[in-house]
């Protein structure tokens, strides 16, 4: 890939840009970014990562090898209408927009290689969990390029396109759920007299350690949970409180609602 152009300069675009630049996947000067109106945002990204801003006549699009669609879903049709006349037929597309189908992108930008992905904001530190689906126009060489790009920002799993709605709910939105859990743990700890700094450190290490146990041991989460839970002990008392609040049901509804919203966004696009 000699030139990558980002259409959109929001948090997800920055997360991917930060990941690929920090991981050395591509030189910063080969990365271009544009958005609808916020010049200050573009200048900020340029100063922070050393990337280039697409000039007013959009010359960079004419020689782009890969276009990364990173607008808000409501802006995608106008964005595609604006850039379509400038793209070569060889330019491939990678979308990181929730809910926007490959078919919608093909309709908006013509028949060309398209990969639809759902990274999360942990891409900024190279720890994203990303699902990706590709159309039949993506050959093996391009497939490897796309996977290499996404692997530079974390874990990547190829899935069927329809499964991306659930992937969006699980790993796309997932960091927010984990942060919400951390918020709740921290507030509860502070209420018990633990200082914020101590609580924060203990929570981060606890989350990190639990994730590492699942990853490194390969043990089922249910088994790991049982290993921590002594009969009539403190952990069992806490788990009973979660069960009483229908914790699993709440998580299930959380994923259901987020999946449904992804489908709604797709239907609107």
The predicted-structure confidence for 181-201, as pLDDT tens digits, reads as follows 999 999 999 999 999 999 999
Question: pLDDT tens digit string along 17-47?
Answer: 988 898 888 899 999 999 988 789 999 999 9
Which percentage of the chain shows pLDDT scores above 90?
Answer: 81
Same domain, 219 and 93: no
Q: Cα–Cα distances in Å, from 210 out to 29, 80, 179, 215, 240? A: 39, 43, 15, 9, 20
The model's pTM = 0.88
* 188 and 250 assigned to the same domain: yes
Residue 235: inside a domain: yes
Question: Considering the domain boundaries, does residue 226 fall inside one?
Answer: yes
Number of domains within the chain: 2
CATH number at residue 87: 3.40.50.720
Residues 10 and 132 both lie in one domain:
yes
Q: Is the pLDDT of residue 266 over 90?
A: no
The H or E element that residue 215 is part of is helix 196-217
Same domain, 11 and 124: yes
Do 147 and 196 fall within a single domain?
Answer: no
Looking at the structure, do residues 186 and 84 belong to the same domain, yes or no? no
Residues 63 and 150 in one domain: yes
Are 151 and 216 found together in one domain?
no
Mean pLDDT of the chain: 94
84 domain residue, yes or no? yes
Which of 113, 134, 159 is the C-terminal boundary of a domain? 159
List the domain range (segments joined by +) for residue 25.
Answer: 4-159
Does residue 169 belong to any structural domain of this protein? no
Residues 93, 200, single domain; the answer is no
Q: Is the pLDDT of residue 269 over 80?
A: no
pLDDT at 13: 92
| Pair 148, 40 in one domain | yes
H or E, element range at 4: strand 4-7
Report, as an integer, the average pLDDT of 68-83.
Answer: 93
Does one domain contain both 108 and 187? no
Residue 192 lies in a domain: yes
Residue 255's CATH number: 1.10.3730.10
- Is there a domain that residue 168 lies in? no
Collapsing DSSP states into helix, strand and coil, what is residue 72?
coil
Return the pLDDT at 238.
98
Do 66 and 102 fall into the same domain?
yes
* Domain annotation covers residue 16: yes
Torsion sign, CA atoms 7, 10, 13, 14? positive
58 domain residue, yes or no: yes
Strand 114-118 with 52-53, pairing: unpaired
């Amino acid at each position: 890939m000699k030139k990558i152009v980002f259409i959109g300069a929001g948090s997800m675009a920055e997360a991917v840009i930060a990941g690929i630049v920090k991981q050395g996947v591509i030189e910063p000067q080969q990365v271009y970014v544009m958005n609808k109106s916020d010049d200050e945002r573009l200048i900020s990204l340029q100063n922070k990562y050393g990337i280039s801003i697409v000039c007013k006549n959009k010359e960079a699009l004419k020689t782009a090898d890969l276009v990364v669609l990173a607008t808000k879903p409501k802006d995608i049709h106008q964005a595609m209408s604006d850039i379509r006349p400038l793209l070569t037929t060889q330019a491939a597309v990678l979308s990181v927009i929730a809910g926007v189908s490959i078919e919608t992108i093909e309709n908006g930008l013509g028949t060309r290689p398209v990969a639809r992905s759902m990274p999360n904001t942990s891409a900024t530190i190279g720890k994203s969990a990303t699902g990706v689906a590709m159309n039949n126009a993506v050959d093996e060489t391009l497939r490897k390029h796309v996977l290499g790009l996404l692997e530079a920002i974390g874990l990547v799993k190829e899935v069927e396109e329809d499964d991306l709605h659930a992937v969006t709910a699980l790993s796309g939105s997932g960091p927010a759920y984990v942060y919400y859990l951390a918020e709740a743990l921290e507030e509860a700890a502070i209420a018990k007299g633990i200082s914020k700094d101590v609580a924060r450190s203990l929570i981060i290490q606890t989350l990190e350690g639990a994730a590492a146990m699942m990853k490194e041991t390969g043990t089922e989460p249910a088994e790991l949970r049982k290993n921590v839970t002594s009969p009539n002990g403190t952990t069992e008392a806490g788990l009973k409180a979660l069960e009483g609040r229908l914790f699993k049901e709440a998580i299930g509804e959380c994923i259901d609602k987020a999946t449904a919203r992804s489908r709604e966004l797709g239907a609107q696009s």
